[in-house]
Amino acid sequence: MVIDSVKQILAEFKPTGWGKDLVAAGFVRSAALQGKSLTIALVLPFAGRSLFEQIKQDFDVRLRGATGATRIDWVCDIEVASLPRAQGLAAVQGIRNILVVASGKGGVGKSTTAVNLALALQKEGARVAILDADIYGPSIPTMMGTVKERPSSRDGKLMEPVMACGLKSNSIGYLVDEQDATIWRGPMASKALAQILHETRWGEVDYLVVDMPPGTGDIQLTMAQQVPTSAAVIVTTPQDVALADARKGVAMFNKVNVPVLGIIENMSYHLCSACGHHEPLFGTGGGQKMAEQYHVALLGQLPLHIDIRQHMDDGRPTVFGAPEGSLAQAYMKLARRVGAELYFSGKPIATPLYTVALDE
Ligand SMILES: Nc1ncnc2c1ncn2[C@@H]1O[C@H](COP(=O)(O)OP(=O)(O)O)[C@@H](O)[C@H]1O
Ligand SMILES: [Mg+2]
């Protein structure tokens, strides 16, 4: 059968982090040959738009060869699935998935990673918003160039998110003085988080990325329990001390039954801006070892590069300000991996959105 060979070829597509291949996962919605024209419809239930280009590149020629088609029409869509929420908490209206970005300690690049990951998820075809819940150092307004902005309210009840580099955002930093927030105890902090989460008019959002306060104390624990999270990712640097803190982060989320999707190793190696030389400043293999030990994925390794810091200080994060560069590509790769791991780690809440319907 002609369509069987289409299936067989497309089934070779299985990027790292995918639980199943493109066909077995049901992402090929239909394939039909009419005369010399082959139409293939693909739907991905997570952010990964650039994978469509890769699929076309990898298989177009072979598909023509196998089917005798002289043209292929690709119909490609992203329809992000909603995944189960930890602790059975009710969803926030309009939000399909909440991804919390946490770290065992401050200064590891949690916010930098959260912001660029959010922007990359959006570039990969999802609708994304970002919530800065870091009461100790809300840095998203600075990083996204929105320091002077304040969320407005049309009805006196809900806040309108501040648009930051094309993302909907809200931040503790827009609302309170940093000095005030740092002395908050657990109940105050989680009340503020609940407000900002539930009283923002987010609209339709596929992924809400939440930049959590660093650390694993009571406040972080209380806050982690408040959020109807789909999964947490832990940002760490490769040093032993940072990894020890990251372990505590994994343990904290385990305690409150929030699944940890994996860890992101930031400042994994130094990438010299002058010569492109890679140097493992903080050692190698730490993130990998920890991931194996805790049976979580090592979702990505990001370089320490002067441009990443500079872009942040300029309020134009790398993925927004330099989207074509190799650093932005590293974040895009991370976003595709995170999207896929999230999808394959949990059963979507809705009945399966896609079934393989391969027409003859
Ligand atoms: N991969 C990186 N390369 C270069 N600088 C980085 C990188 N990640 C973070 N930084 C810089 O390190 C500092 C701390 O990062 P930040 O994201 O604020 O950390 P955290 O949120 O964990 O406290 C910032 O100045 C940021 O620009
Ligand atoms: Mg931060």
> Residue by residue, what is the 3-state secondary structure of the chain?
CHHHHHHHHHCCCCCCCCCCCCCCCCCEEEEEEECCEEEEEEEECCCCHHHHHHHHHHHHHHHHHHHCCCEEEEEEEECCCCCCCHHHCCCCCCEEEEEEEEECCCCCCHHHHHHHHHHHHHHCCCCEEEEECCCCCCCHHHHCCCCCCCCCCCCCCCECCEEECCEEEEEHHHHCCHHHHHCCCHHHHHHHHHHHHHCECCCCEEEEEEECCCCCCHHHHHHHHHCCCCEEEEEECCCHHHHHHHHHHHHHHHHCCCCEEEEEECCCCEECCCCCCEECCCCCCHHHHHHHHHCCEEEEECCECHHHHHHHHCCCCHHHHCCCCHHHHHHHHHHHHHHHHHHHHCCCCCCCCCCCCCCC
Tell the residue nearest (CA) to atom 26 of ligand 1. Answer: 309
Which atom of ligand 1 approaches the CA of 311 most closely? 27
What is the CB < 6 Å shell around ligand 1?
103, 106-112, 139, 214, 266-267, 302, 304-305, 308-309, 312
∠ CA(267), CA(162), CA(261), 5° rounding?
A: 40
pLDDT at res. 352: 35
Overall size of the chain counted in residues? 360
Indicate if the pLDDT at residue 358 is higher than 60.
no
Ligand 2 (single-atom ion) residues, CB below 5 Å = 111, 139
Q: What percent of the chain has pLDDT over 90?
A: 72
Q: What is the mean pLDDT of residues 141-160?
A: 94
Tell me the per-residue pLDDT of 16-47, one tens digit each, with 9 for 90 and over.
Answer: 999 999 999 999 999 999 999 999 999 999 99
When the pLDDT of each residue in the chain is averaged and rounded to a whole number, the result is 91
Tell me the per-residue pLDDT of 267-325, one tens digit each, with 9 for 90 and over.
Answer: 988 888 888 888 887 777 888 888 888 888 999 999 999 999 999 999 999 999 999 99
Tell me the per-residue pLDDT of 196-212, one tens digit each, with 9 for 90 and over.
Answer: 999 999 999 999 999 99
**Rounded Cα–Cα distance for residues 259 and 346 (Å):** 10
Which atom of ligand 1 approaches the CA of 106 most closely? 23
CA of 124 to the centre of ligand 1 (A): 23
> Residues comprising the binding site for ATP?
104-111
Which atom of ligand 1 approaches the CA of 267 most closely? 1
CB 133 within 8 A of CB 213: yes
Based on its alpha-carbon atoms, the radius of gyration of the chain, rounded to whole angstroms, reads: 21
**Rounded Cα–Cα distance for residues 80 and 73 (Å):** 22
- pLDDT grade for 349, boundaries at 50, 70 and 90: low
CA of 110 to the centre of ligand 1 (A): 7
**Most trustworthy range by pLDDT among 116-120, 187-191, 350-354:** 116-120
CA of 334 to the centre of ligand 2 (A): 19
Ligand nearest to the CA of 171: 2
Which atom of ligand 1 approaches the CA of 113 most closely? 17
CB 125 within 8 A of CB 138: no
CB 259 within 8 A of CB 345: yes
Ligand nearest to the CA of 246: 1
Ligand nearest to the CA of 133: 2
Tell the residue nearest (CA) to atom 6 of ligand 1. Answer: 309
Greater confidence (358 vs 152) lies with: 152
pTM for the model stands at 0.94
Q: What is the mean pLDDT of residues 135-142?
A: 92
> Residues comprising the binding site?
104-111
Which atom of ligand 1 approaches the CA of 211 most closely? 21
Query: Which of 112, 136, 272 to mutate for ligand 1's pocket (most ligand atoms within 8 Å of CB)?
Result: 112
pLDDT at res. 39: 97
- pLDDT grade for 15, boundaries at 50, 70 and 90: very high
Tell the residue nearest (CA) to atom 17 of ligand 1. Answer: 109
CA of 162 to the centre of ligand 2 (A): 18
Ligand nearest to the CA of 117: 1
Indicate if the pLDDT at residue 112 is higher than 90.
yes
Q: What is the mean pLDDT of residues 83-104?
A: 92
Which atom of ligand 1 approaches the CA of 306 most closely? 4
Domains, the chain: 2-78 (3.30.300.130), 86-345 (3.40.50.300)
Indicate if the pLDDT at residue 182 is higher than 80.
no
Q: What is the mean pLDDT of residues 52-76?
A: 97
pLDDT at res. 213: 93
CB 303 within 8 A of CB 269: yes
Greater confidence (75 vs 217) lies with: 75
